[in-house]
Amino acid sequence: MQLIINIADEEEGSALITVLIITVIISVLILGILGTVYVQTSFIQRDINKTKALYTAEEGVFRLLDNVANRKITKIDTTIYTQGNSRVELTLEPFGGIYNIHSKTSYGAKKLNLNVIVGEKATKVFNNALVIGDTTSALNVTGSTTIKGDIVSGKGGIQKSSFKGFPFSGKIEGKSFEIGKDFNFPEFDTRLFEEFIKDMDELLQKRNQPSIKVFSRKKDLFSWTSTGDSVFFDKNLTVEANEKLSIPANRTLLIDGNLIVNGELKVGEFSKIISNDSVLVSGKIEGSDFITYAENLVEIGGNSVAKGQFLSSGRITVKDNTYLQYPSVIYTSSEYFDGNEPEVILISDQAKVDGTLLYPIENSSFTRDLFRVKIEEGAIVKGGVYTLSQTELKGKIQGTLATNQLYFYESPTTYINWLKDVSIDVEARPENYIVPIGFSDTTRYAILNWLVEEL
């Protein structure tokens, strides 16, 4: 540069200085362009490496699913090498009634984690509109009942009956089959759900371990924004009517007491809300692909709009104007009658559930009529209902009802395996219907959602 200045002084007024200045400017521009190209190339290469790592992680997921097909494995922790000799660390664990898979691989000095949740494609039971496991009696339809789809029932098939002087005015569209002869009632393996519930109960007991951060003040709890960790609130937690609070993605919130939502609560993807008592929502809960579990009672009401799994060892109620979006799951394993209402799952008011209702517990002949799934008039289930107990249907099912027995009461008489003024339409179920993992037919997996994290 000093040489250029000296030449400029000696050649003042000549054309040479102009040429030199232009040369310097062009050189600087070229260096700038080359530097930019280098930086862009580095970013592009990094993106290429990240994409390759993502494909490697995906390969690990699909190889793992192929390995566990039809085996109903509940937990796996393993390492594999792909065809390109890349190392993939794989873990599989229950996420409610579906699989939660972590596939970790490296690119450069960084690690990538592909978090995938996986359900099961609907099995053949869900090709029918109605399946009744009770072999002792025929199905009686009366009033304005309409059924669109095949029906599997006990001996005697389908009887179109008048009721208190009023003839049957509905419509049946579909074939009739006999349970035990043409079709067996499907089994459901509860191990995945029960393993998850066991893990959550144990986590509640391990609240003092270093990996769990304990809070006593609501303000501190909701200002803690890091993702992927477990936090414990040591008393009842209430979201007041004027509050709008959020739970980050991939968080486990453990509550020693009740969760009461009178305001609004937004839940991040892959998060879990675990209560050792009850979850009571009268305001609004929203979010997707999260789990809510309470030991005694889950009650989702108000104007809630959510896509998730709602689990309990006790009762579950969905009410008011709640809309649980597809593919939501409601599951209870209640086995003890508490002397209150017999409904272990209740869908009431104008509530709508797009997904699957599950009560796969076989009660004794002495207590079976104390445990019931009930869908009230005005309520809709779009997907499927599966129970080894009774179902009381007054609303609509846009999909499949698979139940051991139907229950209907009009004073002063109880009617078993009767349907009155209801609607079941298997053709209205969600397209490519996905269910929790555990049905006895051949398993075909379906990915529901994924989350990519750089570690």
Beta carbons within 8 Å of 144's beta carbon, 6+ residues apart: 169, 170, 421
Q: Tens of pLDDT along 423-454? A: 999 999 998 899 999 987 667 899 998 888 88
Cis geometry, peptide bond prior to residue 327 (ω within 30 degrees of 0): yes
Could you tell me if residue 451 is inside a domain?
no
| pLDDT value at residue 107 | 79
Could you tell me if residue 281 is inside a domain?
yes
Exposure string for 259-279, b = 16+ CB within 10 A, e = fewer: bbbbbbbebbbbbbbbbbbbb
| pLDDT value at residue 41 | 47
Q: Tens of pLDDT along 155-166? A: 889 999 999 999
Rounded CA separation 210/230 (Å): 10
Could you tell me if residue 416 is inside a domain?
yes
Same domain, 96 and 163: no
Q: What is the residue range of 34's domain?
A: 2-122
Number of domains in the chain: 2
Angle at 249 between CA 244 and CA 255, to 5 degrees: 70
Same domain, 73 and 139: no
Q: Tens of pLDDT along 369-392? A: 668 999 999 999 999 999 999 999
CA distances from 333 to 93, 193, 293, 311 (A): 20, 9, 12, 9
- Is the pLDDT assigned to residue 240 strictly greater than 50? yes
Domain boundary among 85, 107, 122: 122
Same domain, 259 and 356: yes
Same domain, 410 and 361: yes
Same domain, 410 and 358: yes
Sequence letter at residue 135 = T
The tokens for 134 are: 């009770």
Same domain, 63 and 113: yes
Q: Which residues pair with 256 in a beta bridge?
A: none
Q: In whole numbers, what is the pLDDT of the chain averaged over residues?
A: 88
In this structure, the chain runs to a length of 455
Same domain, 135 and 90: no
